[in-house]
Amino acid sequence: MDWKDYEKEVYSYFLEQYPEAQITYNARLIGRYSKKERQVDVLIEDDVAGLPIKIAVDTKYFSRRVDVKHTESFIAMMEDIEVDQGLLITQKGYSDAAINRAYYGPNRLELDILNFEDLQDYQGLRAIPYAGKSSILLPAPFGWVIDSSRQPNYLACLYQRGLELKSAQKNQEWIYLDCYHKDEKASSVSELVEMQNDAMRACYTNLCIRQHRPSKRKDGRNTYIRVATADQLPCQEITGYIDCDEFIVFFVLFTKEELENRNLRKLAYILKYSMPVKISFDNTKVIEQLKNKCGSIGDPIEKADAYRQLADWYAEMDSHDRAMEYRRLCWETHPEIYENIQPLIKGELNLSNIDSAIRYSLGFFSLAPENPRIMQDLLSIYDSPAYADIFYKIVGELKSIYHNNNKALGNIHIHYGMYLRTIGSNSAAIEHFRLAKQFFMLVDKTHYIINQIEEILDEIV
């Protein structure tokens, strides 16, 4: 392959990857500052969130690695021709200094460097995160990768290529996604946004929420972008939503304020090009394999996790009775398998096994009675008005059990107050917020939660 074939192969690749965009081979642009004609190997012009995006692709057919001087030269040309993103594709690799200069350069510009042999895995990177049968075909935005490893609180996450999740979180520049299945509490994006806003108002101080212009999708699906800041948030939290008929997928972006515009483009790209898909499962073979293995597993934690996996596989196949059988076995073997607990309690509620649901809920709380996360997760299970009486009974049992633990009592009362507030019982909520304040004052008069409670009371009293 000579340099011209090399350029044309790159051009053909981007024609396939950006079917809705205008792709120009050997483009010529007049520089804003140089006032001269500048040549671009491949120019990609697209629209994201109603704004034009230009990507310049430069193909380096070198016999040596791309170094920092090549990177700086390309950055200078990007500034001159006023593109938003740039991609250097090299035949022989690149130096550490070159990639560092690309990633940590001017905030407005986004530049990445890629080996030619890795091109097929770059912009074409896709994943299909799913929750039950609800799934989304997810594309990676410019310069980022998808981490599909399942976590208890989200389906997948995205961050800059070359990093790991922990380093991306430390940099305060990453995205996670999750699904919300529509129900009587929220059957549209606007209802889900308002429900989440209410929950944030109850938890955060100095909360500021604003809307950003969403992406327009070719299929007309409704999208929405919310930007939130608060004292308890380490950086900006920007959430994008897509209405996917039976469910809503939402993407939560964490970003520093100075990188907002750059990272909003990545979120907008995801909202524009992610596609809902339907999937079906036949897990019969892996279920039998794991069942045969369970008899030889001696470690109770490993065995309980195997039961949890069997339950998940049965649930994916809509075999809910068998799923519940293994969820109960998981709890009996080792109750602290966190991913098993919420679906276990929800499953008992769906089967109208109320006593079992209460018993598991009390056991769940006992794992960490002073941890607000436990009470928040219980709230997420019982937040339907249909379960109000059951949750009231659970709260009564918890107050009796933990009557000598002021921090646990504060945790119980503040979250029950939040629950009452969400179902419109403000007068009853006030009583529990005041009790929560009293118990936290007994723990520590300077406890941060006391200020939060006072702000909540100022809003509703």
Give the pLDDT means over successive 10-residue stretches in the chain (461 positions).
Answer: 75 77 90 92 77 82 80 89 85 80 71 71 66 82 81 84 86 93 90 92 87 85 95 93 94 91 87 85 93 94 96 91 97 94 95 96 94 88 86 94 94 90 85 92 86 85 73
Question: Taking the model in full, what pTM does it have?
Answer: 0.60
Q: Can you give the pLDDT at residue 7?
A: 79
* Rg, the chain, Cα only: 26
Q: Can you give the pLDDT at residue 189?
A: 95
Q: Can you give the pLDDT at residue 164?
A: 85
